[in-house]
Structure 1
Amino acid sequence: MNIIHPTIREILKSRGISEESDILEFISEKPKRTYDPFLLKNMEAGVDLLLSSIEQNKKICIYGDYDADGVTSISLMLQILAHLTNNVSYYIPSRFDEGYGLNKEAIELIKADGSQLILTVDCGSVSYEEVEYGKNIGMEFIVTDHHNINEKSADCILINPKQTDCTYPFKHLSGCGVAFKVAQAIQRKAGLPKSVLTELLDLVAIATIGDIVPLIDENRTLTKYGLEIINSKKRPGLHCLIEGTGLVPGKIKSENIAYIIVPHLNAAGRMLDAKVGVTLLTSKDQQEFSSAAALLMENNRERKRIQEESFCACSEMVKSAHKVDSFLLIDAKEIHEGIAGIVAGKLKDEYGRPVIIVTPSGGEGFLKGTGRSIPGINLYDMLKKYEDLFLKFGGHSGACGFLMKADFLEKLRNSLIEETEELYRSRPDLFQQETVIDAILRQEDLDIAFAMEIEKLAPFGCQNEKPVFLLESIYPSEINYMGDNKQHVRFAGSEGKSNGFSCILFQKAQDYSELLQKGVALNLSGYPDINHWNGNSKIQFVLKGITC
């Protein structure tokens, strides 16, 4: 009999999961929700063309993106196709010289290298002109992707669940998730053992968490099994990176992937060369994957340094203005374009506004824009209205990118501010970033057993955030600030009638220092967590906010 904590049931109910079968599937350690890959439009034709090309010994080039989703997708395809052919190469365009997606120059280079078939992963859906150019010079294409599709999609075999006439039951796979469905179809058609699929699931988990697609439905199944593979330490390069970054092998959670592993893979494409990530994930040569891990770690440290400098510079631009606009469009000429998206995300969190950072790109007089949005504003839909201003445009509700002529910048800025202000007039709470509370707890509820119940809802991520709880009227004592800049704080909290429990707040300690010094009862929002230290396990409350 499955005994489910009533608070867990309430949280699931508030998230739209109330049927008993759905609850049991959600918390199951062995979920079963997955779908037949051949339900994806064009899957049969795509796999038939792939296998036919392999049979004819045609050279295949896997063409992907330079982020973690793209790098894992390429690695996955290299791994599955290696069971059938060694006549495979891959190509990742430069973020700086080529930009996202297919381009004609790259297609020419791939053809010159002897490839006859280009298989895209995590890109290509809207590359109509590029595919036509490639077909005219004798190339064949299979496009696998998960991004939104505009009116003119690539005219070739296109495998993307977001096609309007695709009946696949789940539309929110990552790019690597779509690549995995292709791998499933290949395994079935080619008669490969199912074990070849199991060994790919770690890559799918990294991509699904890293690309911030909803961690529900089939994505939840793929990610749960993928985390098991990661914790089995079977991919030597990934294990090397895990150890090098100070994570505990065998204890990796979705949070570790989101905040440690994915940023290291992304930083290569932002600052260095995304191929380093592919080497890390595919090489079995210890010297190769060890060197790749070391390079990724060094590069990520440099990325963080440049990112902090850029964030401070952009913050000064915002502060120097007379007021904070309803939509922040920042012309940052000196910012490294590789980290513009991260900085935009940090500014979005800091000011509670949608943010676009534009940097010089694509030659004299051109700008590359990278945007991040707040809940309540679909950035893709908003920008699509001004698509005539862009030479390239793509993305989704929370993040978008484009290339435009600098001459149109002020027109775009004014239009976005005007539209956002109009939206604000109809929705006065648009910019309020209130913490959503899932349940109210008492001090007596805080124990290791309850923290373990919460972990049944993992893996956490997009559309399955870690639950946030409220503790009311808690008195702080034994306050201890930590970190080089006293940015963290630990204290004991109690309801005034029992021993204190451990509370910890990361990064934002100075924001609440005055409240903590008053010695008055506080309301704490956060979640219980198990702190493992020196062989002991203790409960602690990880804070997200403090009010009085």
Structure 2
Amino acid sequence: MISPEWVINHRQIPSDVDEVISILVKSRAGEREDEFLHPHLSGLKSYMEIKNLDEGARLLVSHLERGHRVVLVGDYDCDGITSIAQLVWFFRDIGYGNFETIIPTREEGYGIPLRALEQHAGAPLFLAVDCGTHDVEMIGALKDSGSDVVVIDHHEVTDPSRIAPATVLINPKQPGCPSRFKDLCSSGLTLLFLIRVRQMLDGRWPYPTLDGRYQSLAALGTIADVMPLTGANRIIAKAGLERINEDRFPPIRILRDVAGLSSRTINAGSVGFYLAPRINAAGRVGDPATALSLLTATEIDDMNRAARELNRLNTARQLEESKILRRISMYLKTRRIKNRTLVIAGRGWHPGVVGIVASRVIQNFHYGPVIIGTVNDEGVVRASGRSIPGFDICRALQECDEFLIRWGGHEAAAGLTLHLDMLSEFRKKFEAFASGLPGDIFIPKLNIDLEIPRELIRDELVDHLSLFEPHGPGNPLPLFVTRNCLLENVKPFGTEERHLSLSFAGGLKGIVWRARDKGFAPALTPGVFCDVAYHLELDPYTDLPRMIVRDVKIRK
């Protein structure tokens, strides 16, 4: 367990629930209090000023009017798959059948795959989502074959000279884009794109409603891609979660069922921990087309079959992840790692899970940028990196470009490929970049909203906190600290007793998920007084407030 430094953002201790809520609203909503507390789809109008959005919509409509074949290409993760799924439903809704879909496998790698050119050279229009910004060679080849290429993407533009020559590029991060909100992912951009396309269709086409299917899919992609849930993303996530909980979109309802969530309200956490991993599992350890087939299926039997397969793949992903994490844990226990960064590669590690493992390593073993890779028989390392706040991993990779075959991503996560004989030099250059940054970045911090007294932990507060949903980056779950709590009982539970149930004086209950992994268990013994950092929720069994404990400091 990496013990974080507590940073309390608001020092005033509130005297009542209204004061707690007022403090939280001011700290999160800023000048946009009404939009924050009451996000509505109509608010998306103010986010539509995106470079080339109109041009891309107009080009698609012109091809549709001529009956041209359209090839949809998307990344193999949840964002790419939900983007393609929206486009598929849109074409069906307007009665347009002349289209194909292509999702690369992880073996083919990120970006537009070669088979798109081999199978569809000369297709009048390619529409690439969640990829393409830097696919210089492939997009150049597609255009040379006579195709128009529209790219809808959100990945960082680290070098404007390396932007691919798409006919139309829709990416808020490209130079010259006037968008006031740069953090839309591709599924959110696709929804805005389809709003604009719908406006440009004339009376010959049926009018698509962009209903709960589209909203649910855009929310899934936005939450799965760990985008800041602020601005347009908050509007999309809020609306999409409401539609998901209405249970009107059978593919997601069936995915909920296989994930064991049929009787639970779905929130952003449910998507992030249960639904999105199953969709992503197809791209990580199987065929991403399985996930697309679920989200675009019209027959219940097909949905059930695809959902069961995604569940199986997710289990396989979890087993592979645990295997690699154990290996890395053993490696780290035998060494004293003094570097700010960690770069590890192993043979036989599945490339589809190394990114998740990197995140887990940061959480549990090494607070700093972590890159985990797998080495193939040709001596090539395919790796994924995860970062920490304040460390832009793409900037670091740009400094290390001389050692890399290719790379891409955004500030917090990236993928990269390099030759094994370059790994040592890359590791040194990557660490040198980190060494030039302020040391404070590499100290883990737990950002706590405010301290509240024990008597404010009651139903009323939990009810009011629902105003702040959905939660994610940019709008995390409110985190509180309450001091001098007397711990009366500690009870392990769950598989291998990995979790802890806590009872405090005064009847307050708490849960520590994965306590054993975090090293909590030895310090938590009945009779100690402690300061507790926690989120609040209603216990699903008692309907009483309980703490979801993030950290504990034992009082001396």
TM over 0.5: yes
Deviations 1:23-57 (A, max 9, x none): 22211264653235762222222222211211221
Separation in 1 of the partners of 2:207 and 2:311?
A: 35
Deviations 1:106-146 (A, max 9, x none): 322223xx833110011101112211111112222111111
Separation in 2 of the partners of 1:158 and 1:30?
A: 28
Aligned to 1:356: 371
The reply to whether residue 8 of structure 1 matches residue 14 of structure 2 is no
Shift of 1:18: 3.5
The reply to whether residue 62 of structure 1 matches residue 95 of structure 2 is no
Aligned to 1:120: 128
The reply to whether residue 142 of structure 1 matches residue 150 of structure 2 is yes
Aligned to 1:332: 346
Q: Which stretch of structure 1 is more off in the superposition, 131-140 or 294-303?
A: 131-140
1:102-501 to 2 correspondence within 5 Å?
102-111=112-121, 115-149=123-157, 150-151=159-160, 152-155=162-165, 156-190=167-201, 193=207, 195-249=209-263, 251-350=265-364, 351-361=366-376, 364-423=378-437, 426-427=438-439, 429-494=440-505, 499-501=506-508
Amino acid at match of 2:539: N
Deviations 1:392-417 (A, max 9, x none): 11111110111122221111101122
Q: 1:542 aligns with which of 524, 544, 548?
A: 548
Separation in 1 of the partners of 2:56 and 2:433?
A: 42
Shift of 1:327: 0.8
Q: Contact between 2:253 and 2:262, CA under 8 Å: does it hold in 1? A: no
The reply to whether residue 34 of structure 1 matches residue 41 of structure 2 is no
Q: Contact between 1:448 and 1:538, CA under 8 Å: does it hold in 2? A: yes
Label 1:199 to 1:193 Cα distance change in 2 as closer, same or farther (>3 A).
Answer: farther
Amino acid at match of 1:306: E
Separation in 1 of the partners of 2:456 and 2:464?
A: 12
Deviations 1:435-474 (A, max 9, x none): 1111111121111110111121110001111011001000
The reply to whether residue 505 of structure 1 matches residue 523 of structure 2 is no
Shift of 1:194: 6.2
Amino acid at match of 2:551: G
TM-score by length of 1: 0.93
Amino acid at match of 2:545: I
Aligned to 2:535: 527
Q: Contact between 2:47 and 2:180, CA under 8 Å: does it hold in 1? A: no
Label 1:271 to 1:518 Cα distance change in 2 as closer, same or farther (>3 A).
Answer: same
Shift of 1:309: 0.6
Label 1:320 to 1:118 Cα distance change in 2 as closer, same or farther (>3 A).
Answer: same
Shift of 1:366: 1.8
Separation in 2 of the partners of 1:41 and 1:513?
A: 53
Separation in 2 of the partners of 1:422 and 1:53?
A: 51
Separation in 2 of the partners of 1:410 and 1:331?
A: 11
Amino acid at match of 1:175: S
Q: Contact between 1:35 and 1:169, CA under 8 Å: does it hold in 2? A: no
Cα RMSD, aligned residues only: 1.9
Label 1:64 to 1:513 Cα distance change in 2 as closer, same or farther (>3 A).
Answer: same
Q: Which runs of 5+ in 2 are unaligned?
A: 1-15
Label 1:233 to 1:250 Cα distance change in 2 as closer, same or farther (>3 A).
Answer: farther
Q: Contact between 2:488 and 2:504, CA under 8 Å: does it hold in 1? A: yes
Aligned to 2:6: none
Label 1:250 to 1:542 Cα distance change in 2 as closer, same or farther (>3 A).
Answer: closer
Secondary structure of 1:284 counterpart: coil
Aligned to 1:516: 524
Label 1:38 to 1:539 Cα distance change in 2 as closer, same or farther (>3 A).
Answer: closer
Secondary structure of 1:266 counterpart: helix
Secondary structure of 1:304 counterpart: helix
Structure having greater relative contact order (Cα 8 Å, sep ≥ 6): 2
Shift of 1:380: 0.9
Shift of 1:547: 0.7
Q: Contact between 1:93 and 1:106, CA under 8 Å: does it hold in 2? A: no
Aligned length: 530
Label 1:405 to 1:359 Cα distance change in 2 as closer, same or farther (>3 A).
Answer: same
Deviations 1:60-118 (A, max 9, x none): 1100000000110010111112223111110001111x10002444322223xx83311
Secondary structure of 1:45 counterpart: helix
Secondary structure of 1:336 counterpart: coil
Amino acid at match of 2:441: L
Aligned to 2:85: 75
Amino acid at match of 2:271: I
Separation in 2 of the partners of 1:477 and 1:145?
A: 52
Secondary structure of 2:320 counterpart: helix
Separation in 1 of the partners of 2:17 and 2:84?
A: 40
Separation in 1 of the partners of 2:338 and 2:386?
A: 16
Separation in 2 of the partners of 1:345 and 1:252?
A: 24
Q: Contact between 1:337 and 1:359, CA under 8 Å: does it hold in 2? A: yes
Q: Which stretch of structure 1 is more off in the superposition, 316-325 or 168-177?
A: 316-325
Q: Contact between 2:82 and 2:187, CA under 8 Å: does it hold in 1? A: yes
Secondary structure of 2:405 counterpart: strand
Amino acid at match of 2:227: V
Secondary structure of 1:430 counterpart: helix
Q: Contact between 1:214 and 1:462, CA under 8 Å: does it hold in 2? A: yes
Deviations 1:292-311 (A, max 9, x none): 00000111011101110111
Q: Which runs of 5+ in 1 are unaligned?
A: none
Shift of 1:322: 4.2
